[in-house]
Amino acid sequence: MASKLAVMASSPADYKRFGLSPTSIAAWEDGARTDDSPGTYEWWYFDAPLADGAELVVSFMNKDDIANPRKPLSPLLRLNLDLPDGRHFEKVMHYQPAEWSAAKDNADVRLGENRFTGDLHRYRIQASAEEISVDVTLIGEVPPWRPSTGHMLFGADRSLEFAWLPSVPKGAATVTYSVDGEQHDTTGVGYHDHNWGNVGLMKVIHDWYWARGQAGPYSVIASYITAAEEYGYEPLPIFMLARDNVVVGDDPDKVTFEREGVYTDQKTGKPVAATTRYTYRDGRDRYVVSFTRNHDLSDSRMVDSLKGIKRIAAKLAHFDGAYLRFVGDIEVSRYRGDELIETHKDDAIWELMYFGHARDR
């Protein structure tokens, strides 16, 4: 039987290769995992829905185009802030290479005067972009987690990789944000992850659904990644379920993924599921996690954000990637045999990233 061309690295040899423990996560894992050289990319990400109704996303990135990691170091700050009054701010601030640094022994990323620091439990994020500034303290509640080694490997020689570490799957965020000098103090449910790789995502990924959420005592990270055609459209499911901040399920072999109510999005032409469902079976216990769309928060073709020669080149290459972000409900139900033990429902936001052409399923 032919070996798979896309896998989640999980063998003892894989742990040894990456110098990782299968039972614990060390602070250096959230430090710099690349040397910023051409051919690599890396970013540190935070998001939180806030108690006052705002939504905040902050990313420190070492490349301004992860589709083309052959580029040299070109750091940037991305800061998105959605306010309860409907105002939306989407900032992208570029910096000189000399203004970027990232420590290797823990998360300590500096981008000009901006800073993203932490030790797998407590983080401080300070960032400013034009009229927006944010100051975040994040305290982890669900402990740091990764799917196996966190490395997705592609190709017959497994030399192409994209890696992912949810350093804070769920945490308590204390946030101060300012807009044109008007300060707001609030709290939220925060999330931080760290990503890096050595191949452009659109070369190895066809599409992914990615979600996180909370309902009752449960916290969820759920993703269903489909590799690109060259890698056999191989599915790479990722799933973590925690109850009262303790992980109760994270074995991808126990997960099944379903799409329901699939429709064609009119703007992007992509097939979109109205409901995505992850079912986790563990002995007699069965957990069903459903994300059901109410409306779109974002619905865009990637080519529309490009300018000049990049836009022309993308159209000539017939690139039609899309990004959709949904608002809806998360529902977590637990069954023992056929008996429903408990069910919980809450609000959630999740995404569909689509690099490849739409295909028949």
Work out the angle at residue 82's Cα, subtended by the Cα atoms of residues 79 and 85, and round it to the nearest 5 degrees: 150
Report the pLDDT value the prediction gives residue 358, as an integer from 0 to 100. 80
Cα angle 225, 226, 232 (rounded to 5 degrees) comes to: 150
Mean pLDDT of 277-291: 97
Whether 301 shows a pLDDT value over 70: the answer reads no
C-alpha span between 90 and 78 (Å, rounded)? 7
**Per-residue pLDDT at 297:** 79
Percent of the chain at pLDDT exceeding 90: 83
DSSP 78-111: EEEEE-TTS-EEEEEEE--GGGEEE-SSSEEEEE
Average pLDDT on 235-255 reads 97
Q: Tell me: the pLDDT tens digits for 289-300?
A: 999 999 987 765
Ranked by mean pLDDT, the top range of 12-21, 260-269, 295-304 is 12-21
Contact (Cβ atoms closer than 8 angstroms) between residue 125 and residue 58: yes
Looking at domain 202-361, its CATH class is mainly beta
Residue-level pLDDT at 311: 36
pLDDT confidence of residue 355: 87
Q: Would you state the pLDDT for residue 318?
A: 42
Contacts for 310 with CB less than 8 Å, ≥ 6 apart: none
Arch. (CATH architecture) of 1-19+35-199: Beta Barrel (2.40)
pLDDT by residue (tens digit) across 51-60? 999 999 999 9
Q: How far apart are CA 112 and CA 132, in angstroms?
A: 15
What is the arithmetic mean of pLDDT over 263-267? 89
Confidence of residue 319 (pLDDT cuts 50, 70, 90): very low
pTM across the whole model: 0.91
Looking at residue 70, its pLDDT comes to: 85
H helix intervals, 121-256: 201-204
Determine the 3-state secondary structure of 97 from DSSP.
Answer: helix
Helix (H) or strand (E) holding 166: strand 160-179
Using an 8 Å Cβ cutoff, are 300 and 268 in contact? yes
The mean pLDDT value of the chain amounts to 92
What are the residue ranges spanned by the domains of the chain?
Answer: 1-19+35-199, 202-361
